[in-house]
Amino acid sequence: MTRSSELFNRAQRVLPGGVNSPVRAFRAVGGTPFFVAHGHGSSLADVDGEEYLDYVCSWGALILGHAHPVVLDAVRAAAGRGWTYGAPCEAEVDLAEEVRQRMPSLEMMRFVNSGTEATMAAVRLARAATGRDIIIKFEGCYHGHADSFLVKAGSGVATLGLPDSPGVPAALASLTLTAPFNDARAVADLFREHAGRIAAVIVEPYVGNVGFISPDSDFHPSLRDLCDQYGALLIFDEVMTGFRVAPGGAQERLGVKPDLTTLGKIVGGGFPVGVYGGRADLMKRIAPEGPVYQAGTLSGNPVAMAAGLATVRETNARGFYEELEQKTARLTNGLQRAAQRHGVAISLGHAGSMWGAYFTEGPVRNYADAKRTDTALFARWHKAALARGIFLAPSAFEAGFVSAAHTDGDIDVTIEQLDAALAEARAH
């Protein structure tokens, strides 16, 4: 028995499913999850001594790769000064100013401890500001596990094929309306049907929690117009896309300004951090300046702030995003050629260093299209890729990521091994 198997057996006795986040259990792809010993650069090493080129990158948080020396130095220095204060520190202000410079729509912001916390607070603020209760989200989009968002959700909910989560009161679920992604007409119909009752539209600007889906060019401008027309707020959930698809996130890449934005992952450099922010007139409603209450013992944690600040500043380097996007395009192009060579239907896409593949004829424009993907083929491909040292997300419904630590040589090896893995998966 491998050391990972031993640990997984122990874990299942004390952790639900043996994991602390559902997709990690490998239920969608079969087999036993490997347990990580350490990460370095573009790779992970497991407790059995196996090495993997990592395209999960802590689910998108590690744009610089594992244990980047500049971030590591910043973390060590911050921890040496104490790792939690319960009081303000300078790094909070520095990181907030850095975020605002890169994303001007965040005129003011509040640091929290997770993306889920950020989206939950943003919706509370939207409801308070508008005096309305209903929100619109999109089928397959995932905004964390707060009750309001577990209606036709993506991420692990889609991976495990779960219906809307038990434990969410029907009365609360009724305040969340859903529409297909890339269908602005459906959103307009909801606004007309519920005129004067919709507080906000929340959207992943590039979907990453049901695989990767790009928006149509007119989709987000239409959402912006509808929100303006009906007096609702537009919330961009950039927990995944923020500082990933462009220096200023998806809102820069798409040229659309939301009222509120949520961030996570990269903004904390891999530490537990979330952000919600936006127009100053909205954010001034947050306590203690206003009546909308939200608090957190570890919010603005000095070590997390130092990690986030070091990470964001490293991505300021000239050509950083262009180089990452070129690597990602080369990876997806190589995978496209492999699929054609083996006669496998595939739909691929990427934005910046975020990418995804569906084993189905394209285009994939929404969750219904995504569900056509061949999940059995994906599971076989994932297993064959892992055996060849390539770690992909253990779900057909998750985006992949390229980090700055991935070299051109890593990309070449990955294309070669994913090609071989696809041939094996196709043969069975």
266/311 Cα distance (integer angstroms): 7
pLDDT band for 164, please (50, 70, 90 cuts).
low
Number of domains in the chain: 2
Say if residue 155 is in the same domain as residue 129: yes
**Of residues 169 and 184, which shows the higher confidence score?**
184
Evaluate if residue 161 carries a pLDDT over 60: no
User: CB-based contacts of 280: which residues, under 8 Å, 6+ apart?
Assistant: 107, 108
Q: Quick one: CA torsion of 345, 346, 347, 352, rounded to 10 degrees?
A: -160
Give the mean pLDDT of 251-256. Answer: 98
Structure tokens at 397: 């419904």
The confidence score (pLDDT) of residue 162 equals 46
- 273/125 same-domain check: yes
* In the predicted structure, residue 167 carries a pLDDT above the cut 90: no
249 touches 277 (CB < 8 A): no
pLDDT confidence of residue 157:
52
Position 155 pLDDT exceeds 60:
no
- Answer yes or no: do 252 and 347 share one domain: no
Rounded Cα gap, residues 412 and 3, in angstroms: 30
Mean pLDDT of all residues belonging to the chain: 95
Catalytic residue among 142, 206, 230, 276: 142
285: exposed, middle or buried (Cβ count in 10 Å: 0-12, 13-18, 19+): middle
Domain boundary among 271, 289, 314: 314
Length of the chain: 428
Catalytic residue, candidates 137, 265, 327, 383: 265
137 — pLDDT class (breaks 50, 70, 90) = very high
Whether residue 303 sits in one domain with residue 222:
yes
Q: Stretch 76-102: mean pLDDT, rounded?
A: 98
Residue 149 has pLDDT above 80, yes or no: no
Claim to verify: residue 368 and residue 295 sit in the same structural domain: no
* Same domain membership, residue 404 and residue 327: yes
Q: Which domain covers residue 354, as residue numbers?
A: 3-63+318-427
304 and 360 in a common domain: no
Residue with the bigger pLDDT between 167 and 64: it is 64
In angstroms, the CA 386 to CA 250 distance is: 31
Same-domain status, 113 and 165? yes
Question: So what's the pLDDT on residue 158?
Answer: 54
Please tell me which residue in 46, 54, 237, 419 is annotated as part of the active site.
237
The domain boundary, picked from 266, 294, 314, lies at 314
Is residue 310 located within the same domain as residue 345?
no
In which band, very low, low, confident or very high, does the pLDDT at 221 lie, cut at 50, 70 and 90? very high
Domain boundary among 288, 314, 340: 314
Q: What pLDDT score does 46 carry?
A: 98
Task: Work out the average pLDDT over 251-270.
Answer: 98
Tokens of 368: 């219904």
pLDDT reading at 154 higher than 90: no
**What would the pLDDT profile of 174-219 be if each residue is shown by its tens digit?**
899 999 999 999 999 999 999 999 999 999 999 999 999 999 999 9
CA 109 from centroid of its chain's CA atoms: 19
Same structural domain, 324 and 303: no
| 285-305 confidence digits (pLDDT tens) | 999 999 999 999 999 999 999
Instruction: Tell me, yes or no, if 284 is annotated catalytic.
Output: no
| Those residues with Cβ within 8 angstroms of residue 346's Cβ, 6 or more apart along the chain or in another chain | 335, 336, 339, 357, 358, 359, 360, 362
The reply to whether 50 and 174 lie within a common domain is no
Question: Domain holding 151: CATH number?
Answer: 3.40.640.10
Note the pTM of the prediction, 2 decimals.
0.95
Q: How confident is the model at residue 172 (pLDDT cuts 50, 70, 90)?
A: confident
Q: Which position has the token pair 């520095």?
A: 94
Mean per-residue pLDDT for 357-362? 96
CATH of the domain at 415: 3.90.1150.10
Name the band, by pLDDT with cuts 50, 70 and 90, for residue 150.
low
Residue 110 and residue 222 in one domain: yes
**Residue 265 is among the residues annotated as catalytic for this protein:** yes
